[in-house]
Structure 1
Amino acid sequence: MDSSVQLTPPRVEFYVLGSAAAQDRLRAACQLAGKGWRAGLPVFIRCTDDAQLTSLDELLWHFRGEAFIPHNRHADNPTAPVVLGLEETPEARQGLLINLHSQLCQHLQGFSRIIEIVSQEPQQLAACRENFRLYRQKGYDPRRVEL
């Protein structure tokens, strides 16, 4: 690859929920993953821990009965259309990252779009505010989107 070619920085958006419920964040992640996949983007959902990953995996199976969202855990198939992971390096490049983790992903430049889902739960809200600040500090231009 030509080193003089500049990669476009990813578009960073914070989708703000009106609820504090953890399940609402997972449902929003399912919706956004489905939209990204239908738009032709590879999707990587970065979970906080294995319990959240398991809950999200189960929810994706039953999220919409009429519209299956093809997904796998990174350990089972890192090239699935929608990949659920923790700290793994995503296989696909220039796709969509849905970051459910409280900290920034180490692989930001590998994505064309990054979405953080913000709930009104106090600790999660504080972590997202810090992430918003860190994205700006790194030179990104994060945007707020009300859901």
Structure 2
Amino acid sequence: MTRIEFYVLPDSQPVGRAKAACQLASKGWQHGLSVFIRCQDNQQCSELDELLWTFRAERFIPHEFHDDDPHAPVVIGTEQPPAAEQGLLINLSPTLSPYTDQFSRVIEIVNQQAELLTVCRENFRLYRQRGYDPKRVEL
């Protein structure tokens, strides 16, 4: 069954979520996992693309937009299905992915923004209702 984790950041800055996504994508890729970063919209996809280019000066994180290369080591997209199964989904979208079962691991990144906390609490409940056992990880 897919492992679901909610990584909880201590601050409310949106850039913190994006940086955490980059760090997790880098770790996943280094461990041989295919990584799909699911954004809420195309603007967030573009912002994440820019951040991945500059995130680590000493190490490039190979990534592409889903529409350009769905088989890249790290894929940035929105509602597209993953090209590779059993990888890592980093979900920055406020909704659950319809493809959750195609991943071995799903990470939801939460910060202290009140609106996001409300959405993520509801997502936590939805995962439980669907038979998953989500875990909370304090960062």
Q: Is TM more than 0.5 here?
A: yes
Structure 1: segments with no counterpart, 5+ residues? 1-8
> What is the CA deviation profile of residues 21-79 of structure 1, one whole-angstrom value per residue up to 9, with x for unaligned ones?
11000000000000000000000000001111110000000000001110000011000
Query: After the TM superposition, which segments of 4 or more aligned residues of structure 1 sit over 6 Å from their partners?
Result: none
Structure 2: segments with no counterpart, 5+ residues? none
The number of equivalent residue pairs is 139
Rg comparison, structure with higher value: 1
* Displacement of 1:17: 0.1
The residue aligned with 1:130 is 122
So what's the TM-score if we normalise by structure 2? 0.99
The residue aligned with 2:49 is 57
Q: Does 2:134 align with 1:142?
A: yes
Q: Which amino acid aligns with 1:52?
A: Q
The residue aligned with 2:81 is 89
Q: Does 2:91 align with 1:99?
A: yes
The residue aligned with 1:46 is 38
CA distance in 2, matches of 1:37, 1:130: 29
Which of 8, 12, 23 in structure 1 is aligned with 2:4? 12
The residue aligned with 1:80 is 72
CA distance in 2, matches of 1:14, 1:128: 8
* Displacement of 1:92: 0.6
The residue aligned with 1:28 is 20
CA distance in 1, matches of 2:11, 2:45: 20
